[in-house]
Structure 1
Amino acid sequence: MKKRTPELTPNPSLPDDLLLTCFARVSRLYYPTLSLVSKSCRSLITSPELYKTRSFLNHSESCLYVCLKLPPDPNPRWFTLCRKPNRSLTNITKKKKKKKKKSSGSHTWHEAPSMLMERRYPVASVVDGKIYVVGGLKDFDSSKWMEVFDSKTQTWEFVLSPPTPVKRFIFWTAVIEEEIYMFGENGVAYKPEEDTWKSEVMSIGVVCHCVVDNVLYCYFDGINWYDSDIGHWIELKGLEGLPEFARYSNVFLVDYGGKIAVFWDKDLPSSGCKSRAIWCAVISLERCNNSREIQGNIEWLDVVLTVPYCYSFVNVLVATV
């Protein structure tokens, strides 16, 4: 007698809520692969609900973004670091827009209200979910030197001016222990929680910097960190294998989830000096000698992107998603 072939019954699809909970527990490294399973999976992977679920379950990860200007396109473009199957920068096909804010979870832009003052090359910092913009006034007015944007109320307002006379331009800022340090033609510091100012005497003339666990790191003839207790810069040890950067290199540092991500570029002679390679290294940090010393350790370094020779490195940032 012939055996009867059992009828195949399709598996019922899982509810979206259950899939979101499963996806939220998976590292973002596997999202490109999961998005290939089906259209519904791809829709869930790119949904804002997924990132809300990840945050609720405390499964957030640091995501690295880089903004570059690639000729002949006049519009800056955002790239994200793709660590699988290789460590490379992937274009997320979103152009940088003026007066807009970006959602790192859904890769979309949202319109934001204009600032109260017209500014040229201002500098911004974020403290407690608020954006503080300083300097760059077209018509200098110390009472309107700084303004703050509240993302919850979607409103701007001016910040009390510092008692110390300030100059027109600020070149860069750093947030250390919820205090904004501003460096330019002169330096001051502002603590939003107490609404107080103080003169800042930290001596530094470079703009390549980042803050990790309330420690300021900068690049000048190597990566150095600032010891506020003794008032000077100390070379970060343990970076054997990190190449010496060329004098022409664009160098950027960023806090990458408690580690330092450093970017630099290098000419490609094989291209006839028509292209450059962007390199990236991730450095873990360890406190030693009763926290009086900091030791660095290079976890990996590699080329992540090839760009035209006359490109511009606009910015690099990290979002928790």
Structure 2
Amino acid sequence: MSSPEEKKKKRKRMTTTKKKKKPSLVLSPTPQSTPNPSLPDDLLLSCFARVSRLYYPTLSLVSKIFPSLLASPELYKTRSSIGHTESCLYACLLFHPDRIPRWYTLCRKPDQTLTTNETMKLKKKKKSSGYALAKIPTPHSGPARWSGLVTLGSYIYNIGGPINDGDEEHSSSVLIFDSSSNTWREGPSMLVKRRYPGASVLDGKIYVAGGCKDCSSSSEWMEVFDPKKQNWELVSGPGAEICGYSINKSAGFDGKVYIFGNSKGLAYIPEESRWERVGWEMDTSWPWYSYAVIDNVLYQYNGGFKWYDTKVGLWRGLKGVKGLPKFPLYIARLADFGGKMAVLWERVLASTGFKDKMILCAVITLVRRNDEEIWGKVEWHDTVLTVPKSCRVDYALATTV
């Protein structure tokens, strides 16, 4: 017979054996952390300057003092001094029924520890790119649907448009978004009130054409903004007989500002202060589709990616782009993403009863092999945001900071 003491030891061993199980990976909550008080701000800024901007939205959640440091001018002076500048992709989303534009930026998702079951599910699916669109907690940017939006350096310019969304009243206002601090401010107003003008950038200046109430006046048809002088100047128009037509889109490249509307094409040459007609070889249908100027070449998507430059003088197909699903013509939004092409598009989700949609993004590397061939390679594409079906992507823009 076993003694009472031996029975007690036996029960203890059995209890310990039952409790031993194979450990599993679980989602662990992120510990609430604060920066070490011994680390001064200048050291933190030096560390942040060496981190990609893609991680800033996540870093801003770590500590209460991090958002102010990440938006400080000193941080971007440090980044510039060490040569760590990069492109930042922004998306303007319009939500119905309020039609208030909301701004998002591309970022990296924070790392997570997954359970064993979740890891097994991910292995069966396509590997995530790790990118997402993060909402910018910034004040209202003003109407964007009927204004001209362009980027210049680290700034996004929201030019003209209606005073209030849906109004017919034209506006001369200019709102400037500083992508280093993610804040909007008022800029110098235009000389002429404009609604849905054609806006483009060429050689560090912003050109705005059309959109005025009475565009028959050649002297008011176009104006140019010089960010160094911080002022607007009127540009001599192409002539009263062709100033009245509406402007669809404009693009600046190869030393010219191209403007199209009502099947009429014009080009303004600032160095010579003169206008010229644009022939049919440029295909006046391009303004109706999404387009972007990247490294002095005009790209568009109209069921396939095409490119145009003045050396070739003809539209040619972008070769080598594989792995992207087809998407509707008028949904794609193109942007110059640091010499690469960023594409945003939408797809309605059947799994939610068609009540929601996915915002998808792709980044394409562009390589020019000769005057007649440009090849594109898809670096990655993935779903970056889920939104209500009524939402849509209005603009895709990229700044440099």
Q: So what's the TM-score if we normalise by structure 2? A: 0.71
Where does the alignment leave 5 or more consecutive residues of structure 1 unmatched? Answer: 1-10
* Matched residue type, 1:93: P
**Structure 2 unmatched runs, 5+:** 1-35, 111-129, 144-172
Give secondary structure in 2 for the equivalent of 1:170: coil
| Residue of structure 2 in register with 1:5 after alignment | none
Partner residue in 2 for 1:196? 274
What displacement does 1:284 show?
0.4
Confirm or deny: 8 A CA contact 2:289 2:302 kept in the other structure: no
Query: How far is 1:40 from its partner?
Result: 3.7
CA distance in 2, matches of 1:38, 1:305: 25
Shift of residue 30 of structure 1? 3.2
Partner of 2:46, secondary structure, is helix
Relative to structure 1, the CA distance from residue 173 to residue 267 in structure 2 (aligned partners, 3 Å threshold; closer, same or farther) is same
CA deviation string 1:82-118 (max 9, x = no partner): 1333311111022222631110110111112322212
* CA displacement at 1:156 relative to structure 2: 2.0
Cα distance change, pair 151–12 in 1 and its aligned pair in 2 (3 A) = same
Which of 186, 197, 202 is equivalent to 1:127? 202
Of the candidates 258, 266, 269, which is equivalent to residue 350 of structure 2?
Answer: 269
Q: Is contact 1:171–1:207 with CA below 8 Å preserved after alignment?
A: no
Using the alignment, how far apart are the partners of 1:177 and 1:227 within structure 2? 8
Identity among equivalent positions (%) equals 54
Deviation at 1:62, TM superposition (A): 0.4
CA deviation vs aligned residue, 1:142-175 (integer Å, no higher than 9, x gap)? 2210112233333222111125834431111112
Is 1:110 paired with 2:192?
Answer: no
**Aligned AA for 1:183?**
F
Cα gap change, 1:280/1:51 in structure 2, threshold over 3 Å: closer, same or farther?
A: same
Provide the secondary structure at the position in 2 that maps to 1:76: strand
What SS is found at the alignment partner of 2:45?
helix
Alpha-carbon separation, structure 2, partners of 1:48 and 1:139: 42
CA distance in 1: counterparts of 2:202 and 2:309, whole angstroms: 22
What displacement does 1:37 show? 4.8
Separation in structure 2 between the aligned mates of residue 235 and residue 92 of structure 1, nearest angstrom: 36
Deviations along 1:212-234, one digit per CA (max 9) or x if unpaired, are 11111111120111253342211
- CA spacing shift, 1:41–1:96, aligned 2, 3 Å: closer
1:93 aligned to 2:137?
Answer: yes
Residue 63 of structure 1, CA deviation: 0.3
The 5 Å alignment of 1:1-321 reads 13-85=38-110, 86-94=130-138, 95-97=140-142, 99=173, 100-140=175-215, 141-162=217-238, 165-185=242-262, 186-201=264-279, 202-205=282-285, 206-246=288-328, 250-288=331-369, 290-321=370-401
Q: How many residues align?
A: 309
The separation in 1 between residues aligned to 2:309 and 2:230, in whole angstroms, is 37
Q: Distance in 2 between matches of 1:120 and 1:84?
A: 38
Check the 8 A contact 1:227/1:234 in 2, yes or no. Answer: no
What is aligned with 2:13?
A: none
* Distance in 2 separating the partners of 1:317 and 1:41: 26
Q: CA offset at residue 291 of structure 1?
A: 4.5
Q: Which has the higher helix share?
A: 2
Q: Is the 8 A contact 1:51 1:105 kept in 2?
A: yes
1:8 — aligned with what?
A: none
What's the C-alpha RMSD, in Å, of the aligned pairs?
A: 2.2
The 8 Å contact of residues 172 and 207 in structure 1, kept in 2 or not, is answered as no
Deviates more, 1:188-197 or 1:65-74: 188-197
Q: Secondary structure at the match of 2:185?
A: strand
Q: Secondary structure at the match of 1:187?
A: strand
Contact 1:137-1:168 at 8 Å conserved across structures: no
- CA deviation string 1:31-68 (max 9, x = no partner): 34543554444421121221232123221110000111
Query: Kindly tell me: are residues 58 and 194 of structure 1, through their superposed partners in 2, closer, same or farther at Cα, counting changes over 3 Å?
Result: farther
What CA distance in whole angstroms lies between the structure 2 residues aligned with 1:193 and 1:108?
34
Give the 3-state SS of the residue equivalent to 1:143 in structure 2: helix
Q: Distance in 2 between matches of 1:233 and 1:145?
A: 29
**How many angstroms apart in 1 are the aligned matches of 2:325 and 2:292?**
20
Counterpart Cα distance in 2 of 1:227 and 1:302: 30
Larger Rg: 2
Contact 1:101 1:110 in 2 (8 A): yes
Query: Which amino acid in structure 2 is aligned with residue 97 of structure 1?
Result: G
